[in-house]
Amino acid sequence: MKTTAIVISLLIATVLLMGAFSGCGFRNHSPEERANFMVNKIKDKLNLNGGQVEKLEIVKNEILAVKQEMKANRNQAQTVISEILNQPKLDQERILSTLREKTQMINEKAPQIVVALAGFYDSLTPEQQKIMQEKFKGHLEHSKRSWKHN
């Protein structure tokens, strides 16, 4: 019984996380539009030069490619979960295999994004890196305050 509860909790958490990442506070904008907005925002905040913008575009393109692939697989995973929930008994092995496939895809795609991100970050000047670190620190502090009530 506990195993079933854990698996269902993991599925619900996965669906909620996917929803949170897909929304990100933007409404009625395509992922490409949201990504371009973020590129322009970063470009303005850090005063990037042409080469740095190119490296940031590479990061954007890598993330968009992975997002597109995950979206295609999300529909398949939703179909599998729907089929599982229509059965009288929960097929734990099928749920776990679906989660393993999703995890494997993330593990395969993460290095490409990290390499692109490292190329961008390494191209920044020390001053730009400091601005980026301060922005990230501020983001973490804001996140801590947001979760304080839980």
Domain range list for the chain: 2-146
Q: Is the pTM of this model over 0.85?
A: no
pLDDT of residue 13: 62
pLDDT of residue 82: 85
User: Residue 126, Cα to own-chain centre: how many angstroms?
Assistant: 27
Are 128 and 46 in contact, with CB atoms under 8 Å apart?
yes
Distance between CA atoms of 31 and 63, rounded to whole angstroms?
10
Residues of the chain under the 50 pLDDT cut:
149-150
